[in-house]
Amino acid sequence: MVSNGSYVGNYCIIKDIASGAFGQVYLAQHAVLTNRTVAIKLLHMIHFSSPQETARFFKEAQILERLKHPHILSIIDIGIHEGFPYLVTEYASNDSLRYYIQRPSPRRLSQETVLTILSQIGQALQHALQQGIIHRDLKPENILFNAEGKALLADFGLATMLATASVKEASIVGTLAYMAPEQFGNTICKESDQYALGCIAYELFTGRAPFDATNIATLVAQCLQEEPIPPRRYNPQLPINIEAAILKALSKDRAKRHSDIAAFIAALNISASTLSDDARKQWETEVIGIVLMFPGNKEMIIAACERILQLDTSFGGAYYYKGVALYDLERYSEALAALRSQHLLIPIIHQAGSTKEMYSSV
């Protein structure tokens, strides 16, 4: 801890404003340029005991210089304080995204607001990826808002430096609920940040994380083995294309996620009127692929079919697959409606109170 009134480099500490597993964040003011109010993150989990470690820290800081972007929290300065590294950044005065998720009178952010936030952070992540840098610890706490209300991605410096720091705890960096499955195996890739952004999108649109458990072992098992519940189950007003885009970003297999974060953001914002014939065919192929790859996940099949039907009501296969999936879930009246809409000839058992009637033609 650094006390109020003490100095870190050229900056006088005003107050402690946040803390985390790897560092403490302070509000500070420059000793000479008194109009400059900043945030200082002192990384108390990394102590440099050799010139080589210090040199590596400054080398990593040079990499961070490539990350200048309107939606990335600006790094103003770096330094070493009593053997511990610190970052000086601009001060984002309008709290973090976590605050807006958990504020005392919770109300879901509007769809337009959520899409704006995801787009701004997506632009920042895409820019970093083009520089060869992966965040590794994307979560609502690391999304801040400045005085103008713009979303700013923070803690790139922490993720980068922890990757090369001589601390064993850095072997797995991240927050469990937002970590991609591959990260649990000490693997990091360009699709990992997309998965974390998918988790954030899911939480913003539904009010809950895609995976949640009271103990670490259960949470890890869910992240590695279970498919998320389709977000429209919690938010029925959510457009099908947004649900589909989120579920794709949350694929366990990184090869099945969007080609990049820009593609994920585009999918979130897609509308039926902008789709070309080739795009429609691609989405139809996706539906069939989901049916073949996840035959036991009826909810995912239904969501995929609804997605393409919102875009192309003439795709008879979607009505068929949706109807069969609904039937398997014993949602007989819904299954009947899906099949009847296209006059599909298929036997189906319709649940009506306590009786079941066999239909040979619907």
Compute, in degrees rounded to 10, the torsion defined by CA atoms 62, 63, 64, 66. Answer: 100
Q: Where are the alpha helices (DSSP H) in the chain?
A: 51-64, 97-102, 111-130, 156-164, 192-206, 216-225, 240-249, 261-268, 277-293, 298-311, 316-328, 332-340
Burial readout 153-192 (b: 16 or more C-beta within 10 A, e: otherwise): bbbbbbbbbbeebeeeebeebbbbbbbbbbbeeeebebbb
Which residues lie across from 11 on neighbouring strands? 8, 30
Dig out the tokens for 105 from the structure. Answer: 């009178």
End-to-end CA distance of the chain: 72
Annotated catalytic residue, options 137, 155, 193, 260: 137
Cα–Cα distance, 221 to 343 (Å, whole number): 43
Whether 137 is catalytic is yes
Q: Which of 172, 173, 120, 179 is nearest to 151 (CA)?
A: 120
Dig out the tokens for 344 from the structure. Answer: 């599909």
Cα–Cα distance, 146 to 37 (Å, whole number): 13
Query: Could you give the 3-state DSSP secondary structure of residue 322?
Result: helix
**At 228, phi and psi to the nearest 5?**
-65, 150
Count other C-beta atoms under 10 Å from residue 267's C-beta. Answer: 16
CB 361 within 8 A of CB 345: yes
- Which CA distances in Å does 40 have to 79, 151, 301, 323, 351? 10, 19, 48, 57, 63
Residue positions annotated with a catalytic role: 137
